[in-house]
Structure 1
Amino acid sequence: MYNSYWSQRESQSHTPGVIKVNAEHTLYVEPNRAIVSIGIVTKDKELAIAQRQNQLISSKLLLSLEQNGIPKNHIQTSTYHIYPQYNFEDGVQTFAGYEVRQIFSVTIDTIDKIGKIIDDAVKAGANTVESIQFINSDTSNVYQKALAIAYKKAFQKAVTLANASGQKLVTQPKIISEKTSGKEIPYASNQFVKAASTEGTTVQTGQIAVTAELIVEYSAY
């Protein structure tokens, strides 16, 4: 009975513990592509007129993009909306006409020319820029580097926690869970559209943040 009791206590004292840590690392890369949402908003009391005006200006916009070297397969209609317009006066609603909004999603590979492309588009009749999204078309290698550094951080955390808690760490992890990578994407606002019609547009591309995040679980005893 004595031997059985202490054998049980000894087994319990060596039951492996678990150390679970979270770690992430971010690397920065230069963008090599921009996706611009740009378009035309027209208004008129007659829907047919508003649509016709929008179509005419859209044709000029598309020609401007083509002249700036944007391939047709890099231009896509992302939004086409028709909105009834109303005026409110003294609590009375009166019909004012229609708004036609057509937005194109334009992929630009020559981001050093993005200011000129926007300027020319505005001159051609574009009157709204909803967003500019800067991306890097291939972040796979950078992400792998960030992933490796994130794992080193996780391991160091686990070593620190094991030492602090008086345990010995099993260096081979039990579980490695990779979280979805995140990217910080800078946007240019619609506020520069008016300036673009009178002076050259300067767009700051910033950098793309590529983040790798892991949850790693180790055994300890």
Structure 2
Amino acid sequence: MKTLSLLAATAMAASAPAAFAQQAPVPAIESGHTMLTVTAQGSSTREPDMANYSAGVTTQGTTASEALAANSAQMSRVIAALKKAGIADKDVQTSNLSVNPVYAQPKRLPDGNYEDGPQKIVGYQTNNTVSVRQRKLGDMGKVIDALVSAGANQVNGPNFQLSGPEAAMDEARVEAMKSARARADLYAKASGLRVARIVSISESGGYSPQPVMYMRKAAMDVAAAPPVAAGELEMNVNVTVQFELAP
């Protein structure tokens, strides 16, 4: 049995399908036939139809309970603003809640070193963050503006997504297989052979989103809703296909 390799694809012997642990055993390759392994990629693009981002409140107080109480009041207004903006309860989820001490800066000595000894707690900081799923992308700018106006001083994201990516992934799969077959035909013809059959197929791939990052702090001007550009999402699928070539 002869073997050909293509680019990053690796030549494999007749027993090679055992490397694909999830695949059924492959019938033996006929004597005089050649194995060819091809790796190809397919892609498709879609405009995202939803996004995830986070919104949070950070507060400080002289005691832990004071910092937590202030945070709870402010975060309640933020969540109320989300609901008023049309975000459903199921699309808001707490992702982080923490209360941490704030330490005084160590005193600097005349020799340039810092005073040694235990750190002194001068207050407490509370962080509360929720993850938000935005289903109406056209409303995102005004929702973020409403959040900041209500007291959110941490807004991070968005991460754009598709609510149903399978159709786009299937397009990418078809393109990847067409590309793999075209390369196999080319190499077979160049070698004076023909493609007899496909022996095995394995796949890997997923989203390759074009990222858009938005951050806004409470200290910034919140007079106007921020513009948010959704762009496109690209779905990529890589396939590794084994072909049997015959004279």
State the TM-score bracket (shorter-chain normalisation).
Answer: 0.7 to 0.9
Q: TM-score, normalised by structure 2?
A: 0.78
Q: How many residues align?
A: 208
* 1:101 aligns with one of 122, 127, 132: 127
- Contact 2:156 / 2:216 at 8 angstroms: preserved in 1? no
Q: 1:35 to 1:196 in 2, by over 3 A?
A: farther
Counterparts of 1:116-195 in structure 2, within 5 Å, are 116-170=142-196, 172-191=197-216, 195=220
Q: Judge conservation of contact 1:118–1:196 (CA < 8 Å) in 2.
A: no
Structure 2: distance between partners of 1:33 and 1:168: 46
Residue equivalent to 1:15: 32
Higher normalized helix content (fraction of residues): 1
Identity of aligned residues (%): 25
Q: Does 1:38 align with 2:89?
A: no
Deviation at 1:193, TM superposition (A): 6.3
Residue 43 of structure 1 deviates from its aligned partner by: 1.3
Decide whether the 8 Å contact of 1:183 with 1:210 is kept in 2. yes
Q: What is the aligned partner in structure 2 of residue 220 from structure 1?
A: 245
Question: Structure 2: how far apart are the matches of 1:156 and 1:169?
Answer: 10
Structure 1 pair 79–43 and aligned structure 2 pair: CA distance change class (3 A)? same
**Alpha-carbon shift at residue 185 of structure 1 (Å):** 5.0
CA distance in 2, matches of 1:115, 1:196: 14
The residue identity in structure 2 corresponding to 1:127 is N
Map of 1:209 onto structure 2: 234
**Larger displacement relative to structure 2 (95-104 or 83-92):** 83-92
CA RMSD of aligned residues (A): 1.9
1:185 and 1:78 map into 2 onto residues whose CA distance is: 24
Output the CA distance in 2 between the equivalents of 1:25 and 1:195. Answer: 43
**Could you list the runs of 4 or more consecutive aligned residues of structure 1 that deviate by over 4 angstroms after TM superposition?**
191-196
> How far, CA to CA, are the matches of 1:62 and 1:32 in structure 2?
23
Deviation string 1:37-56 (CA, Å, 9 cap, x unpaired) is 11101112211111001100
Q: For residues 136-156 of structure 1, give each alpha carbon's deviation from its aligned partner in whole angstroms, at most 9, with x where no partner exists.
A: 101111111111111000001
Partner residue in 2 for 1:8: none
- Of stretches 172-181 and 106-115 in structure 1, the one that deviates more from structure 2 is 172-181
Q: Which residue of 2 aligns with 1:69?
A: 86
Match of 2:12 in 1: none
1:192 CA drift (Å): 6.9
Contact 2:212 2:229 in 1 (8 A): no
* Distance change (3 Å), C-alpha of 1:146 and 1:53: same
Contact 2:144 2:225 in 1 (8 A): no
Q: Which runs of 5+ in 2 are unaligned?
A: 1-29, 109-113
CA distance in 1, matches of 2:45, 2:51: 16
Q: Say if 1:195 and 1:201, in contact at 8 Å, map to a contact too.
A: no
Partner of 1:112: 138
